[in-house]
Structure 1
């Protein structure tokens, strides 16, 4: 894993008080939208709740990510038909299906022309004036022959979001533009759950400005401290479901 944190660039439209840094990850943008109280418990107060029900789909997704990263870094092993890492017997067959799907859309496969520039790569940028540290982990970075940088996010769930509407894709676009300011840039969601499909966003000024607005809103919300509970389907897997007075989780 590699990390790079730049400093000194302007984040358009952000004017915040000079207070301790707010760390912004794409997943945290979504979590604050889901439930402010859970966000406060986890990231502001640092609480550890009760063990939440396991999520087999999440575990499978992590296994697929590890498998694909290994294939891109192990010389000559990308196109092996069977998984090259050890996996739980319950996930082995599913990992093999995802690998087969990925091979049909991989930009560096037998029919591809892109160069692999790293996987599970953390990009970061420190905005000193705004007191914001923006971070994101990219599943795979590819460089096309024409110089285009392609940031890929593997999606193994059946309900993969549209990158044109997903705040995580916007954050990836913003960090990509800051990291490669003079390159054509594209954010790609590689959907592998069914027939493999690519969904892409070409990064332009409008995309970057939209991401900046979203980061500004997120940081301002945290500094204002208005983090209400939002009871609903998110209560069932929540680690604080049995102690939250607003929870609607079964049995809580």
Structure 2
């Protein structure tokens, strides 16, 4: 399945969308790497996976991998080939499980992608990043490559199930090295400083307006139910 995606799906995507990819050479060819990206659409994960020369791992809801029958098994195999790592997000320790999954990928020398905002931006702005990305960088020593996705919100607007044809651009920034903070992972102030530096780099690549507050979760954006 992985070979099918790399050699069939990726070329088809490039033919249809002709994405502009800037700075792909900035992703180190070997060793652990964190890709930290803005998040505009559900299609973002597929785009990152298909324009990066190395296999990329992402977090995915565990229930996506538990479907029954032929369809369920095919979906699970497809997601695994795209690089999804199943994580149970339904319990109180979901955040720790997510970080542990990321560390496992990085300590094996792989590439792990994360959206520091935690959810898709519905207002087009770049919101304050959660410090999980800093925890991963500090605990593993992996460099962080900032990534900007431009146009994916037009390829798959919120609510659209089928991607559309629209201009698409992916920009990779210079790797950020945080080895100067080695041993300081336990400091909340250091994690905040590292995360803010990463978000600043993403903003510089994407051109988005930065908002220094966390983006509301999808459930928080729903209108209240009338009594």
- Name the TM-score, length of structure 1 as normaliser: 0.29
Point out the structure with the larger helix share. 2
Where is the strand percentage greater, Structure 1 or Structure 2? 1
